[in-house]
Amino acid sequence: MVALRELIEAYAEAQKDPKFKREFQDYLTEYDGRPTPLTFAANMTRALKGARIYLKREDLNHTGAHKINNCLGQILLAKRMGKKRIIAETGAGQHGVATATVCALFGLQCEVFMGEEDVRRQALNVFRMKLLGAQVHAVSSGTKTLKDAMSEAIRDWVTNVRTTYYLIGSTAGPHPYPMIVRDFQKVIGEEARRQIQKKAGRLPDALVACVNGGSNAIGLFYPFIKDKKVRMVGVEAAGDGVKTKRHAATMEKGKPGVLHGSYSYVLQDLDGQIAETHSISAGLDYPGVGPEHAWLRDTGRADYVSVTDKQALEAFQALARQEGILPALESSHAVYQAMKIAPRMSKNSILIVNLSGRGDKDVNTVLERLGSKLQGGRP
């Protein structure tokens, strides 16, 4: 608790400091490449004959996903707090890569905890982290995936609390993390809001984003929460289907509980033991969800739905063929949901999809699933 108090205080001070904000903004512009475009998906819109679909291009961030926004903010905070050693958890490796990147940039020691299972599945990202100068610890406890990596990072943090900053990658973990991560990700929604007003002269009718811990979704949603007419849809991973045991649909199938210091929906058994998850997308396998999403759901402000592995793959291919963009498998869940609801919306309505990351990292997974079935060429 002392470490969390220290973080709460340091963050409150940083927020009051205009220099901190300016520095964060500078790095977002000069290093990360923000603002990211809001691309009109003309072909997909034409094909679906419904709402005008815009893509918030978080895939064009440095390192290929929205994760870097939060990492830049938190590394500046860590530097301010005088911490010399940075630790992070990672599932698919995207947050690990983003953390290793900012640590390289600021010359800080970086250690990333990653489940043994994920280390095996995401060998390329492990190598990327090492290239960037990070040390990767394979975690062999529990289910050997993201939640265990996070548990191990927390254990390291309580052991080395005096020297170490824990850089959490999603809106998970104890307060103030979900708030901090949201604040550093809300740039997504702020930009999208400005961009759509400039392009269309009005606010969108709906926002769609994939949700696991929920950082990209809360980043997009947050600046629109007060705009009651803007519908918000979070898309969870249904894996093989929510009727099977292999999914990560925390909102749909979870119950309120405490995981890693936050109270929110959690996938668990009757006793409260945390359940295993599954999704084709390695970045959507945390059995909890950010507490602010639970609040948005319980108050009815946002809707949460789920999309299966198969459907996500379908959207992955559709976006590739129609727009020339390979979306991350995580983001493909959101794209599928957009494809589903756009035809039911009028032609002058506007839909923004958060394209949280690029799909290059997933090409191997997709190859395994589609492989020989895939026919090239254009009809």
Partner 1 sequence: MSQKLRRLFQRASITHRPLFLPYICLGYPNYKASLESAKAALRAGAAALELGVPFSDPIADGPTLQKATHLSLQNGTKFADVFRMIRDLRQSGFQQPLLVMTYLNLVEQWGWEEFAGALAQSGGDGAIIPDLPLEQFPFFKPFLQKENLSLIPFIAPTSTPERAKLADAQGAPFLYYVSVTGVTGARKSLPSELVPALRSLKNRLKTPLVVGFGISTPGQAAQVGKAADGVIIASALVQLISKTKAPHIGKAVEGFCKQVVKALHKQ
Q: Which residues bind partner 1 (CB under 8 A)?
A: 1-3, 141-142, 147-148, 151, 154-155, 158-162, 255-261, 266, 268, 270-274
User: What are the beta bridge partners of residue 131?
Assistant: none
DSSP state of 37: P
DSSP class per residue in 78-114: HHHTT--EEEEEESSSHHHHHHHHHHHHHT-EEEEEE
Q: Which is nearer to partner 1, 170 or 354 (CB)?
A: 170
CB of 113 to partner 1, least distance (A): 12
**Cβ distance to partner 1 smaller for residue 189 or 290:** 290
Minimum separation from the CB atom of position 343 to partner 1 (A): 41
Residue closer to partner 1 by CB (options 81, 104) is: 81
Of 51 and 259, the one with the shorter C-beta distance to partner 1 is 259
Residue 12 and residue 2: Cα distance in Å, rounded? 15
d(CA 182, CA 29): 19
- In whole angstroms, how close is the CB of 117 to partner 1 at the nearest point? 15
Smallest CA-to-CA distance from 242 within 311, 322, 318, 331 is with 311
CB 344 within 8 Å of CB 46: no
Tokens linked to 159? 């052991």
Q: How far is CA 113 from the centre of its chain?
A: 17
Nearer to partner 1, 19 or 162 (CB): 162
Residue 261 CA to residue 174 CA, distance in Å, equals 4
- On the 0-12 / 13-18 / 19+ scale of CB atoms within 10 A, 142 is middle
Catalytic residues: 67, 89, 356
Nearest to 202, CA basis, from 230, 176, 222 = 230
Shortest distance, position 133 Cβ to partner 1, whole Å: 26
Q: How far is the CB of 78 from partner 1 (least distance, A)?
A: 18
